[in-house]
Structure 1
């Protein structure tokens, strides 16, 4: 049985023909259904189908019988023709391919016999040609060998050329033969021997040594009697060999003669023994007796000898290139070995050099262009001569800069300094109001002079349309009736008469309590003077002589500090004006504060960490604080001559300025000289792009630029020291002043060239001076800040003795640091800058302490006392700003945070009533409102009084009465 098809597979479509249908039926039959009847039915069906098919065919034929008969007749005709064609093809194949009588076998035999005869003929012909060519090669080779042996080298060269032609024309089959290889080997040997003998003849005909050049017009060939001329030898040499010899000859001529003559003096000796030899020898001359132009004469003689005895013998194809190849080495050697080294380094030697240069240009025209045949447009010596003025100035520039560099980087002794004295020209300052001396009304420098703070920072709303008179302070607000005339200058007491103050920051008064005036230094004028090391009596400025009236100021400085001979002007600060606005002036000179200010408060408030009332020490009345401060203020205004200042400058700067002046003088002299224009090279100055002398003139600011760029790098380690850094700032300031002086002395023509660059150097030196000055101060400020940061650690937990000792050590170290810095800078900086520098460093320390203390969230009573004691340590710093013991210090003018810091030390131990009074009187305007609020919260316990006080503080600083009007 057939394999059953799965049900999921597609079924084959039903067959259309009878055979397929019957086969399908047979396939569908099973064992049970298959029988004889079923098989008979299949046979019957097939027979019926066959019969029906035959009937359809017969019917089809009958339907078109003529066409059927025609196609049948055509088929029979085709069969007959096919039979005839087959018979004819078999007959033709037999006639062509028959082995005996066929056409192809007969033709192949004939062609084979013809090819055999042609090959025999070709072999014979090639053999004859080969033997004939070999005979010619042998004959020519023997002739060549005979000529070489006889020394007839030029003829041998012609035979070599013929032999080379024979070898090139040899048949191809002959090249691979052994006999031809032997011929080639013998030919190469003969040719090499001929070239060797020609080269040997050349080397014996042209001889070059270190100082001698010998030429033999005729040379005898070795091992023969033949004599050859030098011209025939040079013509007979092969191009490659001749090129090599000429290259060697050009090198030897350049090294032994052209360069040698250009570098050093030598005398030429020319001998001629025609026809044996011609020689050209050099005899060195003494350098001291040598004239540079004589070298050009020697070079001319050398090239004449070379052209006459060597170049005339060269073949025309090699003569012109060889002569032209000597032009570049000649002009290069002339420039590099004669003209450029002879370029003078001073103006005095220029005339002789220009004469030499004229002869060099004439030599180039006569020899290089005329004799050697160089291009007339390619004249390097003439081109260099056209710019000789620029070459001279550039060389001078290099020499000047080299000399400047040696001066700049040279190690200098620290004692190589000098003192510069200048007028202290103050900068524009706010208006200062002169006041009368009064023991009660305080007069201090204005806050605007201390730091440029706008009025808005003080809470003042000035009218923008106010006149100059309305901006002046009302005399009633100061409490003065009239202005006293200037008093005569006080005579300073000698140092021996100064009394030493007590070293203790707290001096007890008669009530066994510390006098706050001592902590503030208010009683220093009552018989006590600052320590000797803190006053101006050991100041090197005090020992200097008074400047003469003829000296003019050479530098502008910040406002000078008060001196012994010129006491500071007495001005009024807004802090004191506001604090004294509520004071009442009386005719007898006494004043009384409003009693309701203090009586409005109850007992002293409590500390935040101590609930008990504060009764350990009564605070100083706020009125007394304001009154006592007035004793430390400048008392009056003194007028007189402009004060003088001195500062130390390195001696190196004088040498730099002297060098700059010399360079400018040299450039000016060269610019006004007619040396170049009067010479034959008058076009040299016109050929340059810049006017004559401008390069040397511009070398002067280049010296300053070199100093400014090289010195800080070379001495970077030394300038890290504060003393050396400030001295460098002084050097830059002095150089700026000197450059300004030199710039002002320049004539109009010179200033047009170098004036702008000198102005730029002046500006750069002033900027460098100021920036270096502030960089040194910034380093010192960072050092002070680091000490306080690491030592004090925010002034926390000062109630503990160890922490208090650490803070005290840090503050003492900072004080010593500032004193040491002041001692180091006192003899270097001018007074104004000295006090500015020390004031900035001191102000940085005070600002750090203020920031740390005001940032404390809680200050118990014991800590407030100790913080106040720590702050009073800095009172000793005030002595650095005292020059005249009879005059108050001017620390406020240079330390902006001094008043704020002084008030802080008192506020730490003040009562709530004192703080409120000082605030209402405007004495605490240096403090921000939020700072006062934080301080009150840190100092006092949370009570209703503290709340009321904080509310009053948050209302802002009070406006003075005269401004309210």
Structure 2
């Protein structure tokens, strides 16, 4: 039964031949279809196919019968020849391979006999050669042994070399034999014995002790009567052994003789007797030493070696040994003579130059000529030619190390001094608005004085005697410059009505909240102490009348009296004082406003006024006139730094002018490196000090003192530049100029950085505590605002106490004024930004503003004089008016605006303030429209 093919397998194609077709049919038959008839049909079909095939073959043959017969005959011929060849090959194989008479067997026998004979002949030749070589080795070894026993080490060394040559030429087949191994062992022992005896003889010929060198020209071999010369010993030693001995000899020579005599003063003693030559050294007194003697001692040592040792060296080692001495000797001379004795001051240079010249001569005579060093390799001469550069680099290193020690050394609180600074002063007529009482005004009217400001009038004797003013604001000048003397101003402005004898202060209530400032204005002047700077004198007590501050205006009332004063053109309010004037004083002109803004950044700027032009706004006094001399605190180390720089410049100039180095081959001009150390000291200070004392400089007083130090250095460098001679290299001038510029920038930037940090600290206190002064009507919020303002005032006062004895007065007041201005600016900004200010909050805000009035005491030196706060706090006047505008009526605001008293406020600020303070009424709208029209123009 056929195996069923799975259906998923591919089927083969249908067969084409009869056999395949029949097999397929048989395969496809099943048990049901298979029977005899089917099988008979298959047989019949197969027989028919076979018969058909035979017929086709027969027809094919008959179609080309001659060709078929030819191929048949050819096939029979090939079969016959193949049978004949097979028979012949079998016969030949029998002839060649037969064991008895075969050719191969005969040939192999002959070759075997020949090989045996050749091996016997080779063995005999090898044995002969081995015995001959062994005989030669034995004879040579016996001769070597005889020489060794006789102590003839030189001949033994030659015999040893001959035997070594024989042993190295030993045939290969003898190398591993027992006799050769034993002979080589005995040879190595003999060679070692020769080397030991030669080394012992050399050690006894050259004896080096710490203080003595002994050289024997000949020595007797131990346990023999043979005497060997030093030359024969050196010549007989092996190359490696002699190299080791010479290395040890060079080391001992350098340690015990060359280096020793170059490091300290000694005396050389030399003695010769027969075959023994000695050289010894003994210490000499240091105080009697001549430094050139050290080079003479080395010369004596080298001469001794050349006479008694170098001449005995074999040529193969002589050059090597002498060259090996050159570098250590020149290095020792450089380190122990030239570099060690390099002077630390210029006055010692002539003597040192003689030593350097002798060192160069020594190098020429002994290193180049005797030791045969390369004539182009002369380190001593090269060093001596650049001696100026070596000295300058050493001095530079010493200068910078000394400067570094001074810069990073800790300092105590008393390591300071007061430096003096010249302040250029400009004298202008006093432009301080004054306030006079009714009697003085009537007296002026009777005398026909039409100048409302009183610039052109001469002060009366009785007034000038009591109010004599010293021009020197700080009292440092002995001869104060005279200036017109104004009448003493009143501490607070008053509005005087000629028709009403009521107290003029009642109209505004300016005297209601007067508080004494004696506590804040008491001035313990640290600058009044006698400064430690040379040429300073004890300052006199200040007597100059200070420009008055903007007055404090307390709870405003109705403006009935103000309106009357305006209508009658009598007494007018002009910022800080009342003047008798036919017209109201105009506000600041644009040019004066520009000057006033400039004065904020420049404390020495003043606003000049002529007698023809009245002060724009009476509330703006002139900048405080500073004295021509001020003192400020400087670290004591600054004197040391400046002394170093000045000494360096002096030394550099002296070095440059010297003729000692006229023949020097150095690339740069002598003295340049030393001169360049001057700006390097300053660079080192700027690089090290802020890093070393970074934590300490976080304190404001230390930061300001560092600013003073930089400014002091900058000013002193400028004085040095003016005194520099014309032969100073431009690179040094540029370096000093750059350091001066950098120090000036550092001093200014550190000064303003400290101020900025303190301003930010105060601003943070107000921002976090006051929170924009919103809802000040609530008691808790009011307490928070009050606490923030009080804390700000205390911070400024504490800062003022810390900086008072550190900064110069001009910088001190600028710094404190900037702090105070930061508080006022923040308060102004927050209050003016309030969208709505109820009546209760306006009262509360007014009370809070009065807390800052305590800052005015920081700008009072004499309690009997007015403060000069306005000169250093740009926002003071504006803030003073703001505190009063918070409780002023609409009529008061309109009046002050028309009089030009509110010029510090922008129109938008005034409009916003009016809208926040007052309800939306027709009057408020009219007032706002008037404000939007802009500030009134000053009358000519």
> TM class, shorter-chain normalised?
0.7 to 0.9
Q: Structure 1 CA distance, aligned partners of 2:334 and 2:528?
A: 64
Secondary structure class of the residue paired with 1:750: coil
> Per-residue deviation at 1:676?
3.0
Distance in 2 between residues matched to 1:35 and 1:718, nearest whole Å: 126
Please name the residue that 2:681 is paired with. 703
Which residue, 784, 788, 792 being the options, matches 2:766?
A: 788
- Residue in structure 2 matched with residue 299 of structure 1 by the alignment: 298
Displacement of 1:92 in angstroms is: 1.0
**1:34-55 superposed Cα distances (whole Å, 9 cap, x missing partner):** 4444433333333333233222
Shift of 1:877: 1.2
Contact 1:435 1:484 in 2 (8 A): no
Query: Measured at CA, do residues 822 and 519 of structure 1 come closer, stay the same or move farther in structure 2, by a change above 3 Å?
Result: farther
2:340 aligns to what SS in structure 1? helix
Q: In the alignment, is residue 565 of structure 1 matched against residue 544 of structure 2?
A: yes
Q: Secondary structure at the match of 1:56?
A: helix
1:824 aligned to which of 802, 805, 818:
802
Deviations 1:849-876 (A, max 9, x none): 3344445565544343223212101112
**Residue 403 of structure 2 corresponds to residue 424 of structure 1:** no
Counterpart-to-counterpart distance in 2, 1:809 and 1:339: 74
Tell me which residue corresponds to 2:934: 958
Distance 1:816 1:57, change over 3 A: closer
DSSP 3-state at the match of 2:661: helix
The structure with higher relative contact order (CA 8 Å, sep 6+) is: 1
Pairing 1:729–2:707 present: yes
* 2:647 alignment counterpart: 662
CA distance in 1, matches of 2:457, 2:713: 42
- SS of match in other structure, 2:195: helix
Work out whether 1:645 is the aligned partner of 2:621. no
SS for the counterpart of 1:703 is: helix
* 1:264 CA displacement: 1.2
Distance 1:485 1:334, change over 3 A: farther
- Asked if the contact 1:633–1:889 (Cα under 8 Å) also holds between the matched residues in 2, the reply is no
What whole-Å deviation, never above 9, does each CA across 1:599-650 have from its counterpart, x for those lacking one? xxxxxxxxxxxxxxxxxxxxxxxxxxxxxx988653x8999x9743333334
What is the distance in 1 between the residues matched to 2:215 and 2:729? 63
Instruction: Tell me the residue number matched to 1:152.
Output: 152
Q: Distance in 1 between matches of 2:73 and 2:277?
A: 122
> 1:154-175 deviations in whole A, cap 9, x for unaligned?
2222222222222222222222
How many residues in Structure 1 have an aligned counterpart in Structure 2?
A: 846
Distance of aligned partners of 1:178 and 1:957 in 2 relative to their CA distance in 1, 3 Å threshold: farther
Alignment of 1:468-867 (within 5 A): 480=452, 483-485=455-457, 487=459, 490-491=467-468, 517-518=510-511, 530-531=517-518, 533-536=520-523, 538-541=524-527, 564-565=543-544, 586=569, 634=621, 643-677=628-662, 683-684=663-664, 687-750=665-728, 752=730, 754-789=732-767, 791-796=769-774, 798-854=776-832, 859-867=837-845
Q: Given the superposition, is the C-alpha separation of residues 752 and 124 from structure 1 closer, same or farther in structure 2, using an over 3 Å criterion?
A: closer
Q: Alpha carbons of 1:31 and 1:742: their partners in 2 closer, same or farther (altered >3 Å)?
A: closer
SS in 1 for 2:713: helix
In the superposition, relative to structure 1, how do residues 107 and 868 fare at CA in structure 2: closer, same or farther (>3 Å)? same
Judge conservation of contact 2:452–2:580 (CA < 8 Å) in 1. Answer: no
Question: CA 1:123 to 1:877, structure 2 compared with 1: closer, same or farther past 3 Å?
Answer: same
Cα separation, 1, equivalents of 2:153 and 2:530:
101
**Structure 1 partner of 2:860:** 882
Q: Distance in 2 between matches of 1:957 and 1:439?
A: 34
Cα 1:957–1:820, aligned 2, differ >3 Å: closer, same or farther? farther
Partner of 1:179: 179
Give the aligned partner of residue 506 of structure 1.
Answer: none
Alignment of 1:248-287 (within 5 A): 248-275=248-275, 277-287=276-286
Query: Structure 1 128/240 Cα, relative in aligned 2: closer, same or farther at 3 Å?
Result: same
| 8 Å contact kept, 1:205–1:217 | yes
Deviation at 1:360, TM superposition (A): 0.9
Cα-to-partner distance string for 1:745-779 (whole Å, 9 max, x where unaligned): 22222374632222222212211221222232233
Q: In 1, Cα distance between the equivalents of 2:714 and 2:512?
A: 44
Shift of 1:293: 0.8
1:408·1:710 contact (CA, 8 Å) conserved in 2?
Answer: yes
Note the alpha carbon deviations across 1:184-239, whole angstroms, 9 max, x for none.
22221111121111111111111111121111111222222222111111111111
Say what the alpha-carbon RMSD is for the aligned residues.
Answer: 4.2
| Change beyond 3 A, Cα 1:89–1:516 | farther
- Report the counterpart of residue 388 of structure 1 in structure 2: 387
Shift, 1:335, TM fit: 0.8
Q: Which runs of 5+ in 1 are unaligned?
A: 442-477, 503-508, 553-561, 572-578, 595-628, 678-682
- Aligned partners of 1:718, 1:698: CA distance in 2, in Å? 31
| Alignment check: 8 A CA contact 1:920 1:958 kept | no
Distance 1:908 1:479, change over 3 A: farther
- Tell me the CA shift for residue 482 of structure 1: 7.8
Residue matched to 1:575:
none
Aligned pairs (5 A) from 1:400-439? 400-425=399-424
Q: Secondary structure at the match of 2:728?
A: helix
Give the TM-score normalised by the residue count of structure 2: 0.81
1:434 and 1:570 in contact (8 A); partners too? no
* 2:29 paired with 1:44: no
**Distance between the aligned counterparts of 1:670 and 1:482, measured in 2?**
66
> In 2, are the aligned partners of 1:269 and 1:281 still within 8 Å (CA)?
yes
In structure 2, what is the Cα distance between the partners aligned to 1:410 and 1:77?
127
Q: Which runs of 5+ in 2 are unaligned?
A: 439-449, 474-487, 493-501, 551-561, 572-578, 585-615
Using a 3 Å threshold, how does the CA distance of structure 1 residues 770 and 486 change in structure 2: closer, same or farther?
A: farther
Which secondary structure state, in structure 1, belongs to the residue aligned with residue 202 of structure 2? helix
Alignment check: 8 A CA contact 1:920 1:957 kept:
no
Matched with 1:623 is none
Give the secondary structure class of the aligned counterpart of 2:727: helix
Does the alignment pair 1:25 with 2:2? no
Q: Secondary structure at the match of 1:747?
A: coil
- Residues 877 and 905 of structure 1: is their aligned pair in 2 closer, same or farther, counting only changes over 3 Å? same
Alignment of 1:359 with 2:358, yes or no, is: yes
| 2:612 alignment counterpart | none
2:588 corresponds to: none
Residues 172 and 929 (structure 1), Cα distance of their counterparts in 2 relative to 1, 3 Å cut: farther
Q: How far, CA to CA, are the matches of 1:520 and 1:706 in structure 2? A: 57
In 2, Cα distance between the equivalents of 1:486 and 1:412? 55
Q: CA deviation at 1:179?
A: 2.6
Determine the structure 2 residue equivalent to 1:137. Answer: 137
Deviation at 1:927, TM superposition (A): 4.5
Report the Cα distance in structure 1 between the residues aligned to 2:279 and 2:529, rounded to whole angstroms. 80
- Tell whether 2:96 aligns with 1:96: yes
1:396/1:33 Cα in 2 relative to 1: closer, same or farther (>3 Å)?
A: closer
